[in-house]
Amino acid sequence: NCLNPFFYVFFGAASVSAHLQDLSFDGQKVFRVIPQNDEQVEILNSLARLMQVDFWQPDSVALVRPKMQVDFRVEAEKSFEVEDLLKESGVEYQVLIDNLQAALDAQFDSKARTGGHSYEKYNNWDTIAAWTADIAAQNPDLVSRSVIGQTYEGRPMYLLKMGKSGPNKKAIFLDCGFHAREWISPAFCQWFVKEAVETYGKDTVMTTLLNNLDFYVLPVFNIDGYVYTWTKDRMWRKTRSKNANSSCYGTDPNRNFDAGWCTTGASKNPCSATYCGSAPESEKETKALADFIREHLSTIKAYLTVHSYSQLLLFPYSYTYTLPSDYQELNSIASAASKRLASLYNTKYTYGPGAKTIYPAAGGSDDWVYDQGIKYAFTFELRDTGRHGFLLPESEIKPTCEETLLAVKYIANYVLEHL
């Protein structure tokens, strides 16, 4: 990918400022196709070989199967060629986003940006980092901040611990921001912390949860990647580590865990968006999270990780089609949680084991955590289903977080009642 001249034309020179990034997505389109058979899947494969194609859903062309909904982004100059190719070969398609730059501009509110932190805006890393300090300082009896490690580029990975102090408390781990461009994810972690501190002592469920459980919240896991999406390339997904013998950067952190590592749905090519890394836990971020969880295995009872987009609630396994031994229980929790989520705005979620529900993909944090013995392991894929994709407008932050909160509270309460 990064050897493609397109990469340099559009992103390589954009290091100067966000201004150049503004120019870079003009005319780019996001297409949606549902290949009907192997032949049409092969057409997508040849397309991906012919030109720079950024797969939004699924994460890579290698994961495409017949009848699957496929969203991908192409550069402006190539969009006519792509349309012609799809037409010629009889593949039905839809233009999801006609001009990516317009969608990019539309993700931010028209209201002037104050520069300060807001739960209803996308906050950059510096703002989030400062917020972690503030929220802990303002709620000393409920929130404390620690650092679980440093990112590749040296940023501290802040972790918030929330709950009333008490003896032998069990905990729920929640993380956001694995994939850099999934901005709604960190927004949810911040929202969750806000809700906890604002409704403790008022909302009976939240009060019970915080009295009897601790929540570990990692608001942004892939901080370097997140910073990169704010400064250089809004569509970046991976970490930002340098790869040996390659000019391409980054590893897919959700392919980097030691769970069937790199056996399926992941790539050994450092230029791929689903590169599994040079070894399990090769990424400092993965190692830091895995170390923390290993050190707290006796207390952590549930693990929730938040991605976007597609509106899914997934549980193990993704590295194999084999169902987990707790399939029945996990499925009924996912069903009830999805129902709770939909009760607010009627947002429909699909749920099930990862491999079967979307695609097999090894090395994910949910599978690894589950195999460590943490039974309640779930992956959320938040709004939407492709209308805006990764560029969800800020006006949708509040409703998305509100509905997701209902599902998270449901799961947390279930875990508490089954300790």
Q: Establish if 179 lies at the interface with Zn ion (CB under 5 A).
A: yes
Pick from Zn ion, ligand ARG, none: which does 367 bind, CB < 5 to 8 A by kind? Answer: ligand ARG
Pick from Zn ion, ligand ARG, none: which does 185 bind, CB < 5 to 8 A by kind? Answer: none
Cβ-based nearer residue to ligand ARG, 254 or 267: 254
Q: CB of residue 162 vs ligand ARG: minimum separation in angstroms?
A: 25
Q: CB of residue 155 vs ligand ARG: minimum separation in angstroms?
A: 22
Q: Nearest-CB residue to ligand ARG?
A: 364
- For residue 406, the one-letter residue type is L
Task: Tell me whether residue 381 is one of the annotated catalytic residues.
Answer: yes
Cβ-based nearer residue to Zn ion, 179 or 375: 179
Cβ-based nearer residue to ligand ARG, 160 or 276: 276
- Contact (Cβ atoms closer than 8 angstroms) between residue 211 and residue 227: no
Pick from Zn ion, ligand ARG, none: which does 384 bind, CB < 5 to 8 A by kind? Answer: none
Q: CB of residue 318 vs ligand ARG: minimum separation in angstroms?
A: 3
Q: For residue 318, what is the enclosing H or E element?
A: none
Q: Establish if 238 lies at the interface with Zn ion (CB under 5 A).
A: no
Q: Establish if 255 lies at the interface with Zn ion (CB under 5 A).
A: no
Stretch that binds Zn ion, among 27-35, 120-128, 304-312, 333-341 (CB under 5 A): 304-312
Pick from ligand ARG, Zn ion, none: which does 181 bind, CB < 5 to 8 A by kind? Answer: none
Point out the catalytic residue in the list 182, 283, 285, 381. Answer: 381
Q: CB of residue 320 vs ligand ARG: minimum separation in angstroms?
A: 11
Cα-Cα-Cα-Cα dihedral sign, residues 303, 308, 313, 316: negative
- Contact (Cβ atoms closer than 8 angstroms) between residue 216 and residue 337: no
Cβ-based nearer residue to Zn ion, 280 or 354: 354
Cβ-based nearer residue to ligand ARG, 337 or 361: 361
Stretch that binds Zn ion, among 215-223, 268-276, 307-315, 335-343 (CB under 5 A): 307-315
Q: CB of residue 166 vs ligand ARG: minimum separation in angstroms?
A: 33
Cβ-based nearer residue to Zn ion, 155 or 179: 179
Question: How many residues are there in the chain?
Answer: 419
- Contact (Cβ atoms closer than 8 angstroms) between residue 391 and residue 104: yes
Cβ-based nearer residue to ligand ARG, 286 or 379: 379
Choose, by CB under 5 A, the member of 73, 307, 340, 409 that binds Zn ion: 307
Euclidean distance between CA atoms 308 and 311, whole angstroms: 7
Q: CB of residue 374 vs ligand ARG: minimum separation in angstroms?
A: 14
Binding site for ligand ARG (CB under 6 A): 59, 254, 307, 314, 318, 354, 361, 364, 366-367, 379
Pick from ligand ARG, Zn ion, none: which does 318 bind, CB < 5 to 8 A by kind? Answer: ligand ARG
Residues involved in catalysis: 381
**Contact residues: Zn ion, CB under 5 A:** 179, 307
